[in-house]
Structure 1
Amino acid sequence: MPHKTIFTISDALDFDVRQWLDSQDWSIQHFKNSQTFFEQADLTLPACVILQLNDSILRYAKLIQQLSNQNSPIIPVIIESRETLLPQKGRHVCESLNFVDLPVEIELLSQLIKSAFERAIEQQQCIEISAIYYDKFTLRELDIAQQLVNGKTVNEIAERLFLVPNTIEKYLERMRIKTNSTTLTALTKLLNKYPPSLDLPKNTHL
């Protein structure tokens, strides 16, 4: 099993945090600034990135938005003092962030990193499934997938599309193969977990 990857972006990462990270059985890559990180890091890895920028929420938000724009499965954890991160009136916002106040509580940081890894893997799976929908599903298959997610049966889908149930079952078999689902039940669970978007696929034939 490959090592879990942690990136850090900071020109002055907390000493205790750095020592603790380097003692863990993880792949650690340190970057002094976000520009170097985006140029050199593998943004396709499901990973955690620890940010300690000694700056306001706006700079953190910009970096997090860059990750989102890259469609990257990298989940950020912020190390920062509340006074630096947010003004007095906005401190409740910290509760919605993966945020560790200074001085750092290593146990809390460890919990947030564990959660970040779990979310990163989930996000990577979502990205991979979305790529299958976009690159491999036809318009008809997307339509059928969306109706399955909406709870329609094979007979109901056939009636709505003016097709016979056997034709719908053939489409479902193709979709099952494309998603590496072992059964129709597994395909349905996958579609419900990762509902296909309304974006048109490249494969636009029926």
Structure 2
Amino acid sequence: MTNDPFYPWQVENINTYISITSKDASQSDLQMKIGDQLAGTNEVPKVMGHGFNTFGLPGDPSPPSRFVKMFFERQIALTNSPPKKKVEDWLTLVQGILNSIFIIKGLTGPDTLGHYVEGDHTAWATLRIPKTGFYAVRTYENMRWYTIETQKLDWTKASSHPISHDIRDGFHDVTNALLSQSKDPSFLHVKKQSDEASFLQMHEEM
């Protein structure tokens, strides 16, 4: 979904990034020997690390950049590691793409009217499967997904449900569960990281 610039322009703008590819970046046909000037390699250009197949992919929060980023992330992911048959795999892919274009408050400019009218940010996000009626929504502060089976709702009646904007509601404390499973001394019981002797002794015994 996009509102500015208009959709046909956004689609045509994708052609600007034709050099982005799903394959690993390689310049072996252009490499030249350079002797021992650099540690670790004796030729350039050489791929250092990974991700250079998407070199030049925009990362700023402008609408055109986010549109291009979503398009290529989706297409490359589907080419190299397509989701399995489970619907959860597809939801995970979409969630990852949404996370990559998340806009934090203040990034695109100041709040001109204080917190009454906040600057552009990702106030909420949704996941939808129209065929099954699955719908999920999360807020800026709370990344926990609230799900709704829309086909079970009575659309002739008005209803509402509060959605938390408290980041604490997105956390799930598993401390007690970990402690209840740890009957033997382990790193969970090392209270002071600075106690190097006990830390090393603990690992020697494990």
TM-score (norm 1): 0.21
Give me the TM-score of the superposition, normalised by structure 2.
0.21
Between 1 and 2, higher relative CO (CA 8 Å, sep ≥ 6) is seen in 1
Query: Greater helix percent: which structure?
Result: 1
Q: Which structure would you say has the larger Rg?
A: 2
